[in-house]
Amino acid sequence: RGFRLSTLESRDVIMSSTFEDNSTLYRFLNCRILREGRLLDRDEALWVRGGRVQDPRQLFWDEKTKADVEINCGGLIASPGFIDLQINGAFGYDFTSDVGQVEKAVHSVAKAILQHGVTAFCPTVVSSLTSVYHKILPQIAAYKSSPDEARMLGTHLEGPFISRTKCGAHSEHAIWDSKDSQITYETVHHCYGSLDHVKIITVAPELPGMFEVIKQLTSGPHKIVVSLGHSEANLRIAEEAVQCGARFITHLFNAMLPFHHRDPGIVGLLTSHSLPEGCTVFYGIISDGVHTDPAALRIAHKACSAGAVLVTDAMAAMGLGTGVHRLGTQDIVLENRRAYIKGQQTLAGSIATMDSCVRHYWKESGCSIEEALEAATLHPAQVLGIDSDMGTLNFGSRADFILLDDSLCVQETYLGGVRVYPYQESK
């Protein structure tokens, strides 16, 4: 009934498939599938139909069917696609400053990051004026992902409710002035204009009124993930924020109090015993060889490997060359793989790609291949509570996956079982 293809032959056949094809049954064989924390033997195949991973036992025993198409993956690793929870822009586009072309920016980035294995992402907007949020967020809320682009999961709002002393590359003029008044849920809602399609908000928990805001954001109708970052919070304040519902840390070690043995600050959440029972505090970490020293990567991994979430924190300069680029309202100078605010030595967002972050984390943290991959797949899905659908290759999950070689270099990217990278060449 079926026919078999080599890896190279499979590319054009899979590209000729449509995203609406719900009947063709594909069997990806000779691959090592990442599932439940381990790489399976090559005799385990990945079965895909209707954009979902299928259970071969059900196919054999209940349906008594065979594959329509078999694809030989040549011994490559089959991993869920990467999920980037913090990306400010890339390839010349900035999600904050490109107010008039937000939809174009998201579409362009969503297409381009497929080559780096990213199949889902949260476009990140840095601290901005209220008028800017009211222009940008409705455009993102109305955005519809194309089937051949990485899935847009919702917005990550990084600011403006952050500390002025830990603002990093954020414009001080855009940071909320909370000196004279308590911040309330109404304050936050008014600032952003709408919370539709917002998935993550980064806040400094020490700001007045923020504990109650965290409670309402995380328990309200939008069930927003609150992340702690750009903050001067000590450990006690950070623990209280987690008690109120915060579950994520924005770029660990960066833009927060440095670790101190008498008060480890937000970093101390990785080993705190004063958290809700069964609570895992996930932490974003920029594994680009610039923002986080390898020794710090190893400390974080050994302290709480289950909480590691690799993020790029990429800016518009990602994929471009040396020069001046934009991050929100700031001019950013790119030199020697490092991005700085123009005229300063303050590090701005990174220019790293997600696949390079995964490789660096694997080589420098002392983790296994499986742990490196799960830090960019399963863990970010767990942060958003979508791990039953994405971030795994469990039966019933979306067939968004990538094929990698033993050096963790991306060879092919699939969305819903359809190959979207490498792109099909026109004949």
Q: Which residues are catalytic?
A: 313
Helix axes 185-192, 210-219, angle to 10 degrees: 70
Sign of the C-alpha dihedral computed for residues 131, 132, 138 and 139 taken in this order: positive
Strands 46-49 and 52-54: antiparallel
DSSP 59: I
Percent of the chain that is helix, strand, coil (3-state, to 5): 30, 25, 45
Pair 12, 421: CB distance under 8 Å: no
Q: Please, what is the end-to-end C-alpha distance for the chain in angstroms?
A: 29
Question: In the β-sheet with 77-80, what is the strand arrangement from edge to edge?
Answer: 38-39, 32-35, 77-80, 401-404, 410-415, 418-421
Measure the CA–CA gap between 4 and 74, rounded to whole angstroms. 13
Per DSSP, the chain holds a count of helices (H) and strands (E) of 11, 25
In whole angstroms, what separates CA 52 from the centre of its chain? 21
